[in-house]
Amino acid sequence: MSTTWLLTGGAGFIGANFARFICETRPDVTLINVDALTYSGNLENLAGLENHPRHEFIKGDVRDAQLMRELIDRCDAVVHMAAESHVDRSIMDSKPFIDTNIGGTQTILDEARKLSSTTGSKRVLLVSTDEVYGALPLDRPDLLFREDTPLAPNSPYAASKASADMLVRAAHHTFGMDVVTTRCSNNFGPYQFPEKVIPLFVTNLIEGRKVPLYGDGLNVRDWLHVIDHCEAIVRVLEGGTPGDVYNIGGNNERSNLELTKSILDLMGRGDDMIQHVADRPGHDRRYAIDASKIKAELGWEPTRSAWPDALVETVAWYRENEGWWRRVKSGEYRAFYARQYGA
Ligand code: NAD
Ligand code: DAU
């Protein structure tokens, strides 16, 4: 049976990969893709889908209640991933994070609930993040984030996402809404905005610039290929228990220094290209996900994240798509870079 999903934030990194993945693999799904096209939203990420019969792009803001109501009315379920997504930007200015990540999420919940009396309950999936759990210590490799780990967000970004999680939880508890939440670890792959560490470092090296490594470089992230994340979102959307949370992760922990050295090796550059810079304020030490629930309940397994092949493939994508990131790295990006890293 055919179905229509509303995708929010579908011109960003994960959203565009999700749109491409669904158009390629799910002939039964039509996507309505709404995105405000902020600095990280880019229609070039959706190139080739312009005339796709099962993909419709609409420029719009998730805080626009009337628009959300119209679009939710036209769909059977919502995949909500529109957000301000970069920790460093949230440290510079938290306001857009509060407005979009919290306000936008509540707008979607409110409009979906109002419609449910006439059209029946429509599932809303919130794409959240492992950052809501805070940080794990480096000297306890046995500790992983589980779905019942208490939330302890440390950055304005993480706090805004944790707030959205709590609003989704409340919508289920108070109104019985059909909601599900996913909390994923760090993604990598094509079309990632080059403020994030992997595309930033790869593109800097192509430009002949050094790579700015924060602090001692020993912070650990759990890396997952973006298409593995997209597959997991589909599993949870279609099979998740109403009101539940599902962790998603690659069991692929790497320190930033290890990641940086791998990228330098792949690019044929040495350690002299590392520029040690001041640490990120409040920098979370380690993220690591226990994804056993989604594996056991929904049969999800990552198939695209094996290291180092997945990193090799991603580095190759940025090498082959220089026009894409060079256009992104002009304009607003330059002002951000100067503010974040100095001249
Ligand atoms: P991104 O910054 O690349 O994309 C975000 C998209 O949201 C952009 O296209 C932007 O234009 C859009 N957007 C922002 N504000 C909007 C608004 N008010 N209305 C409509 N659209 C708006 O981010 P991403 O890395 O693709 O992350 C997508 C989602 O996944 C976010 O919710 C993020 O918290 C979550 N997430 C990301 C990762 C990761 O590693 N990148 C991991 C776990 C979860
Ligand atoms: O864990 C999921 C989260 O992963 C998502 O919720 C966020 O939206 C996404 O941005 C990402 O957050 P991080 O802060 O982990 O990603 P980022 O790429 O910014 O940084 C990854 C690590 O690299 C982190 O420890 C900081 C470090 N870093 C980052 C930058 C940009 C550097 O050392 N230098 C840099 O210039």
The residue extents of the domains of the chain are: 3-192+223-252+287-304
The pLDDT of residue 343 is above 80: no
d(C-alpha 201, C-alpha 228), whole Å: 22
Q: Span 20-39, mean pLDDT? A: 98
Residues with CB under 6 A from ligand 1: 8-9, 11-15, 35-38, 40-41, 61-63, 81-85, 100, 104, 127, 129, 161, 184, 186-187, 193
**According to the model, what pLDDT value does residue 120 have?**
78
Residues with CB under 6 A from ligand 2: 85-87, 129-131, 185-186, 196-197, 200, 212-214, 219, 221, 256, 280, 287
d(C-alpha 10, C-alpha 15), whole Å: 4
What is the tens place of the pLDDT at every residue in 181-211?
999 999 999 999 999 999 999 999 999 999 9
320 is catalytic: no
Strands 253-255 and 220-222: antiparallel
**According to the model, what pLDDT value does residue 118 have?**
84
d(C-alpha 247, C-alpha 231), whole Å: 13
Catalytic residue of the set 157, 246, 318, 337: 157
Q: Span 229-250, mean pLDDT? A: 98
What is the tens place of the pLDDT at every residue in 278-293?
999 999 999 999 999 9
The pLDDT of residue 117 is above 90: no
What is the tens place of the pLDDT at every residue in 247-257?
999 999 999 99
CA 133 – ligand 2 centroid, Å: 15
CATH hierarchy code of domain 3-192+223-252+287-304: 3.40.50.720
Q: Which residues contact 302 (CB under 8 A, 6 or more apart)?
A: 224, 225, 228, 250, 251
The pLDDT of residue 175 is above 90: yes
Strands 55-59 and 29-35: parallel
The pLDDT of residue 267 is above 80: yes
- pLDDT class of 119 with cuts at 50, 70, 90: confident
